Chain A
Amino acid sequence: MSLLPPERIERVCGFGMASCADGYVVRPASVDELEEAVREAVRAHRKIVLRGAGRSYGDAAIGAERVVIECTRMNRILSWDPDAGLLEAEAGVTIEQMWRHCLPDGFWPPVVSGTMFPTLAGALAMNIHGKNSFAAGVLGEHAEWIDVWFPASGLQRLTPEDELFSEVIGSAGLLGTILRACIRMKRVPSGDLRVRPTLCGNWDEQFDAFRKFESDADYMVSWIDCFAKGRSFGRGLFHAAWYETDESAKRDSLQPAHQDLPSSILGVVPKSLVWHGLRALNNRSDMRLLNAAKHHSARLPGGKEYRQSLVAFSFLLDYVPNWRMAYAPHGFIQYQSFVPKLRAAEIFAQQIEMQQERKLEAFLGVLKRHRPDRFLFSHGVDGYSLALDLKITPHNRDRIFQLAHEMNDLVLSAGGRFYLAKDSTLRPQDFRASIGPQSLAKYRRLKDTLDPDHLLTSSLAQRLEID
């Protein structure tokens, strides 16, 4: 066994800060350096965890005492063809780099997450979805090809015609390392959206809003007040958005300067300090008030349409840098489940009732519409997802996990699915039941062939027994 440079050890956490592990972090800037990092790990009898920008909430990109290969420095845009809309980029290029590069030519990433900091490889490894999931599906559906380095066989380019393409994308970095990818960017008429808010008084109104707009909206998302009960149970604020076609918007709105987020909120408080205020509010009773206040203030504009930049609409959370520190020191988990449309209203209502009974309400709830896809570890269903941010403390940790396990049972009983980028609580049997024994068996065969020494792992993979 050879020694790893001891000073490489770092505390590495999931975005929610509730899962952390110490690992030997390497940040290769090229494929050669990445291969050397792999060889070094093998010599030191260590397994490897692949990591992008660390925006997965749970334990997907951490691993205790592993060599953590963080791909953020492999971040060159390799080519951009504005005629075809094709962008070729290295693993560590971020969603932010992608839009900044292409928007002046009238293109936007086909699928983005609620933050612009994830890397391309991290986003493909999880197969992210956006607020346009019901129409555009997952990011993997917009890749022309991916270059993957497999431990057993080295470099291979995969296109949608290869079966492996849909098996590697979404497999959480456990089958091979994505080195480069080519993405078909989305042509947009302007850099702005036309946004239409709808105040929903209860669950029925929420789902009515989604059904009303799903045939023609470009984006849909709704925020749920998880504290509301009785007649207001399930209330929240729904937004549908369309690409702004008004010619007057076009030229300026495509410039990054138009998109950039303001550096202060209300023009006074520097936004880098806002999380301190949030932290003071981050307890159950204040969050209940904040959710109620948000609901009532939304009444004011009277559901009028407004214009918003793509960046402001898509990456709202990036407005407040370090907002997650409001959950320090013990962090939070995100619980997102995906339920077929016929059962979604019933299952999500039950989930929130369970939280309310136990006084473990999520501080933030977000509802989205999805569609199924062909990927091996797919989280897509013809239905809805509800994402819940649950604060963790040393006192509630066990109860939160118990709650999550019971919510898992509900989701599984309705044929639902889970999403590894958000997961912290699944047990092996939950994961097996959600993707099905056949898919799992197929994954195990692929793992044995593509990564026969089971070099690629993560805390998540260990927890789900798929390492």
Chain B
Amino acid sequence: MRKAIVIGGSSGIGEALVRKLAERGWRVAAVARRIGPTSELKREFPDSVLPYQHDVRCYDEIPELFQLITRDLEGLDLFVYCAGVMPTVGPREYSFEKDREIAEVNFVGAMAWLDQAAIRFDGVGHGSIVAIGSVAGDRGRAAQPAYNAGKAGLATFMEALRNRLARKGVNVVTIKPGPVRTPMTEGLDLPGAMPVDKAADKSWRRSTRPASTISARYTG
């Protein structure tokens, strides 16, 4: 049985990914602040889903939690960082508070988790690391400066991990979705947005393809 961790498994793409993996016989740890939705997943897949409550900004918890989860899973084949926030930002709004949350959840917390995954996979010489970036990281646009920057930082960090770990037999994959219909984008006018299931499916397929050590970009 293969094993995965999904950070941000309580909603949207992450939740769909947890479900997809569980349906395919994986054992999956679903990590997020809200325990309600992940417990619901556990009810749905009692033998496969393990819920953990955690805020990715509590950086100090991460090394121990990572070890606890891998112990409970009895191994690890796939690590997915899917946690992210995208608060609404007005066209003339410069809010450090919002920018900081974006940076901490989308980028700093990502590094804290990805470092743990990297240490482990470097040691064992197998496994896949996936981060959900975004096409929004390719350019700085007027609407979302911090979100753009955070996703750009994440993609560059992943590129560097890929350069370190590919030769060890580890896949390092950045998925860059275009608009996807999830709670994050609820209320936004997004014609042609991709259904969440499809986004999860694409992410999953990319993550387990051995040669996919490149950034995978897709839009609706």
Residue positions of A touching B, CB distance < 8 A: 1, 3-4, 6-11, 21-22, 44-46, 64-65
* B residues 57-74 touching A (CB-CB < 8 Å): 63-64, 66-68, 70-71, 73-74
Complex CA–CA separation, A46 to B123 (angstroms): 19
Q: Given A3-B64, A3-B67, A65-B70, does the pair A9, B124 have CB atoms closer than 8 Å?
A: yes
Complex CA–CA separation, A65 to B73 (angstroms): 9
Residue of B73, B120, B123 with highest tally of chain A CB at under 10 A: B123
Nearest CB to that of A10 among chain B residues?
B123
Q: Are A6 and B116 in contact (CB under 8 A)?
A: yes
Residue of B63, B71, B119 with highest tally of chain A CB at under 10 A: B71
Chain B contacts for A10, CB-based, 8 A: 123-124
Q: Are A1 and B68 in contact (CB under 8 A)?
A: yes
Chain A contacts for B123, CB-based, 8 A: 6-11, 22
Chain A contacts for B116, CB-based, 8 A: 6
Return A305 CB to nearest CB of chain B, in Å: 48
Q: Are A6 and B63 in contact (CB under 8 A)?
A: yes
Chain B contacts for A7, CB-based, 8 A: 119, 123
Q: Are A11 and B75 in contact (CB under 8 A)?
A: no
Q: Are B71 and A65 in contact (CB under 8 A)?
A: yes
Q: Are B71 and A21 in contact (CB under 8 A)?
A: no
Residue positions of B touching A, CB distance < 8 A: 63-64, 66-68, 70-71, 73-76, 116, 119-120, 123-126
Q: Given A65-B70, A65-B74, does the pair A3, B125 have CB atoms closer than 8 Å?
A: no
Please list 26 pairs of residues, one from A and one from B, whose beta carbons are closer than 8 Å in the complex, sorted by A's number. Answer: A1-B64, A1-B67, A3-B63, A3-B67, A4-B67, A6-B63, A6-B66, A6-B116, A6-B123, A7-B123, A8-B123, A9-B119, A9-B120, A9-B123, A10-B123, A10-B124, A11-B123, A11-B126, A21-B75, A22-B75, A22-B76, A44-B67, A64-B75, A65-B70, A65-B73, A65-B75
Nearest CB to that of A4 among chain B residues?
B67
Chain B contacts for A3, CB-based, 8 A: 63-64, 67
Chain A contacts for B67, CB-based, 8 A: 1, 3-4, 6, 44
Nearest CB to that of B120 among chain A residues?
A9
Chain A contacts for B76, CB-based, 8 A: 22
Return B118 CB to nearest CB of chain A, in Å: 10
Return B59 CB to nearest CB of chain A, in Å: 14
Chain A contacts for B120, CB-based, 8 A: 6, 9, 22
Complex CA–CA separation, A461 to B120 (angstroms): 25
Return B32 CB to nearest CB of chain A, in Å: 21
Residue of A3, A4, A9, A46 with highest tally of chain B CB at under 10 A: A9
Complex CA–CA separation, A333 to B66 (angstroms): 33
Chain B contacts for A65, CB-based, 8 A: 70-71, 73-75
Q: Are A6 and B119 in contact (CB under 8 A)?
A: yes
Nearest CB to that of B75 among chain A residues?
A64
Nearest CB to that of B77 among chain A residues?
A22
Nearest CB to that of B73 among chain A residues?
A65
Return A289 CB to nearest CB of chain B, in Å: 33
Chain A contacts for B119, CB-based, 8 A: 6-7, 9
Chain B contacts for A22, CB-based, 8 A: 75-76, 120, 123-124
